[in-house]
Structures are given as structure tokens and as C-alpha cells.
Amino acid sequence: MAKITISHLNKMKQAGEKITMLTSYDASMTRLAETAGVDTLLVGDSLGMVIQGHGSTLPVSVDDMVYHTATVARVSQSAMVIADMPFMSHGTQQQALDTAGRLMKEGGAEMVKIEGGAPQVETVRHLTERAVPVCGHLGLMPQSIHQLGGYRVQGKEAQAADQMIADALALQAAGAQMLVLECIPQALAQSITQELAIPVIGIGAGKDTDGQVLVCYDMLGMSVNRIPSFVKNFLADTGSVQEALSAYVSAVRAGEFPAAEHIPA
């Protein structure tokens, strides 16, 4: 089974083929997701909430991320493995390089994801110039939840939307090879997706991004947290976790998910 690379994802974007991404935090979910045909697996710091029971992603440590990334990468045979850089693990360029190095060398990640726009551009450049593949993350940024004042749609005002477009272009220019857009208006997500040459993955950002990502426990209706309105419970209409994951992959590839009811107002 061939390993999916960023070159493959770029070809999918160019061909208009939807990219599928799910979070995974362990070996068993990784096997199930890859059997369903998921293209990319995100070892998200969302594990702080869905695995560890915290109220936010902020308590997650680099050690936590290395451990869970390793459990995913150890059994992954096809999907590209991306690991989140947790809160306060990239305050300086050297710290960011050290964190990324651990996630890749000890954890086996093939790309790291870092939240933030303009303030992170030089850090992204520093990483990519040293052979670290980077995925950016704009919109609702869980690590900045106390600054944002809650989990709500970002980029609704014209100035904020313009800044997000500028940040996306700057991250790409700095070497980012992928971008996640979380909880932003569909029209803005569409504009950013069209502006960028790199793959853009949406979560609560409408149907016009190059692909979709969901937290695995959310789309199975298993989360201990409030499940966001942009999530569909794929387990509710299927008979097993495996069938639910396959249904998600099929729905994303066919452009059937997200539907109108999963697009934030």
C-alpha cells in the first residue's frame, strides 16, 4: 500500500479530488481509518479534550503529542501523518524546531501543524528551511480560545477576512505546504482555497475547501464534549465504526459532506 505524500495531495487539489482527513490518537483508530481510505491522519491536540478530559487543548504537552503520534505512525501504512504543535511549544524559533524535531524523530510525524497567522510566519519559514513540512491553521484556533473569547465563527467582518487571506498567503510564501481553516464563513474559505496553490482542509468552513477534517470521536457521536453543529454523526446511520468511517470518506469525496445543515451561520 503506497504511502500518501504531499505530492499526492497536491495532485488531488489540482484534479479537484476531495482530500479526507480525520483525527487519530491510537493504533486501532488508525487501522480502521486507513481501511476506510482516509488520506491524512491528524494527531490533534484535541486529544486533551476527547482523550484526557480537559476543558481545552491548552494542557497538552509535547510528551503527550510525541506519545500519541508514535502510536499512530507505528501502524500507519498509507495515510500521511500530521502532528499538532501544542500550546507554548513554539514560542521561539529554536523551541519550535526542537518540538518539531521530537514529533518527527520520536513520534514519526510526516508533517507538523502550527496555529496562527502573521506572528507565526517567520517560525514557519524557519522550520520549512530546515526540512520540516508544515501545515498552517487559521480561523478558530483552539490554543487561542481565551483570546478569542469562545468557540465561535471567525472572519465574519471584512477586516478580519482580509487579514485571514493575507495570513494564508504569507504562510504559503513562508513554505507551508497545507492549511487548515476552522469555523469560518464558507465564502471566505472558498476564496482562500482558490487563492492558494497548497491544499486547504476545512472543518466547519463549508464545502468548497480541497478537503475536510473532523475529530474522530465527534463524527462517531462519542465525544464527552458538546459536538459542534458542523459535525455529522456518521455512526448513527451505520452499523459499525468501520462503516461510519467509510461513509465519511465517501460523503467527503462525493461532495455530500458538509451539507447545508453543517455549515456555520
242-254 pLDDT per residue, tens: 999 999 999 999 9
% of the chain at pLDDT higher than 70: 95
Residues with Cβ within 8 Å of 236's Cβ and at least 6 positions away in sequence, in order, are 221
- pLDDT confidence of residue 224: 80
Q: State the Cα–Cα distance between residues 246 and 252, nearest whole angstrom.
A: 10
- What count of Cα atoms within 13 Å lies in the side-chain half-sphere of residue 134? 33
CATH of domain 6-257: 3.20.20.60
Residues with Cβ within 8 Å of 226's Cβ and at least 6 positions away in sequence, in order, are none
- Other C-beta atoms within 10 Å of 255: how many? 12
Side chain identity, residue 155: G
Please provide the average confidence, as pLDDT, over all residues in the chain: 94
Side chain identity, residue 157: E
Joined together, the cell numbers standing for residue 17 give 479530488
- pLDDT confidence of residue 228: 86
Q: Tell whether the model's pLDDT for residue 201 goes beyond 90.
A: yes
Q: How confident is the model at residue 142 (pLDDT cuts 50, 70, 90)?
A: low
Joined together, the cell numbers standing for residue 245 give 468511517
Does the CA dihedral 102-104-105-106 come out positive or negative?
positive
pLDDT in tens, 80-138: 999 999 999 999 999 999 999 999 999 999 999 999 999 999 999 999 999 999 999 99
Joined together, the cell numbers standing for residue 91 give 514560542
Side chain identity, residue 41: L
Residues with Cβ within 8 Å of 150's Cβ and at least 6 positions away in sequence, in order, are none
Q: How confident is the model at residue 146 (pLDDT cuts 50, 70, 90)?
A: very low
pLDDT in tens, 5-44: 999 999 999 999 999 999 999 999 999 999 999 999 999 9
Q: Are 27 and 72 in contact (CB under 8 A)?
A: yes
Side chain identity, residue 236: A
Q: State the Cα–Cα distance between residues 233 and 259, nearest whole angstrom.
A: 13
Maximal CA-CA distance, the chain: 48
Q: Locate all alpha helices (DSSP H) within the chain, ordered by sequence.
A: 6-15, 27-36, 47-50, 62-73, 93-105, 121-128, 145-148, 158-173, 186-195, 216-219, 241-253
- pLDDT confidence of residue 150: 52
Q: State the Cα–Cα distance between residues 245 and 35, nearest whole angstrom.
A: 9
Q: Are 252 and 231 in contact (CB under 8 A)?
A: no
Instruction: Please state which of the ranges 158-167, 179-188, 205-214, 219-228 shows the lowest mean pLDDT.
Output: 219-228
Active site residues: 182
- pLDDT confidence of residue 147: 54
The number of residues making up the chain comes to 265
Side chain identity, residue 103: L
Cα–chain-centroid distance for residue 9?
14
Instruction: Please state which of the ranges 31-40, 65-74, 226-235 shows the lowest mean pLDDT.
Output: 226-235
Instruction: Please state which of the ranges 6-20, 49-63, 217-231 shows the lowest mean pLDDT.
Output: 217-231
